[in-house]
Amino acid sequence: MSLFGKSVNRGSGQGLGRGGGQGRNNGGGFGVGGYCVCAKCGEKIKHKQGVKCTTLKCPACGHTMIREELFNQ
């Protein structure tokens, strides 16, 4: 392409921009099933879709619950 008699080359568009990461858990969700587990006492409750395990308290000891997949890592 020419602009006022000078050649203008077009690159591939892969600049130094930020982003493109996969975020938490490498971009993978855990799905709708599974369990929430207490990291303190090991109590398990069924995970409910749309409710983060970390917003729940353990019914046995009151500690914060975490997703079972994270507990097993």
Q: Is the pLDDT of residue 46 over 90?
A: yes
Integer distance in angstroms from the first to the last C-alpha of the chain? 54
**pLDDT of the residue at 1:** 54
Share of the chain above pLDDT 70, in %: 59
pLDDT tens, 9-34? Answer: 666 666 666 655 554 555 456 777 89
Distance of CA 54 to the CA centre of its chain: 13
**pLDDT of the residue at 70:** 87
Q: What is the pTM of this model?
A: 0.58
In a 3-state reduction of DSSP, which class is residue 26?
helix
